[in-house]
Amino acid sequence: MHINTNYTVPIQPCNAYAFLIDYEASQNIAGVVDVKILSRSANKVSISRVLEEEILFFHVELKTVVEYTEVPYNLLSFEQVGGDAKYL
């Protein structure tokens, strides 16, 4: 299954980009319990995240390692390179 989304907000592109690359701030999102920058080089950043949720009566913990490719003010792409899920 593939999901494509589109979202428009009233914000300047440079502010939107700065918001998106503030990886540690994602710890303020409900369910995100830990965020670590594992490496940063040139335009690549590897991030480790731990997510926790309660689904019905079960406690679920999901660990991911995602590699982001940054093209400042133009593009931010990502790929899961490790973790519990098959893909992200």
Whether 19 is covered by a domain: the verdict is no
Whether 78 is covered by a domain: the verdict is yes
> By the 8 A CB rule, do 63 and 50 touch?
yes
Whether 1 is covered by a domain: the verdict is no
What is the C-alpha separation between 34 and 43, in angstroms, rounded? 23
**φ, ψ of residue 24 in degrees (nearest 5):** -65, -25
For the chain, what is the domain count?
Answer: 1
Whether 17 is covered by a domain: the verdict is no
Amino acid 10: pLDDT: 92
The string of pLDDT tens digits covering residues 21-55 is 999 999 999 999 999 999 999 999 999 999 999 98
| 87, pLDDT greater than 70 | no
Using only C-alpha atoms, what is the Rg of the chain? 14
Read off the pLDDT band of 3 (50, 70, 90).
confident
Residues of the domain holding 35: 24-83
Amino acid 13: pLDDT: 86
What is the C-alpha separation between 37 and 66, in angstroms, rounded? 10
Whether 9 is covered by a domain: the verdict is no
DSSP lists the bridge partners of residue 44 as 41, 69
Whether 14 is covered by a domain: the verdict is no
Amino acid 1: pLDDT: 65
Whether 88 is covered by a domain: the verdict is no
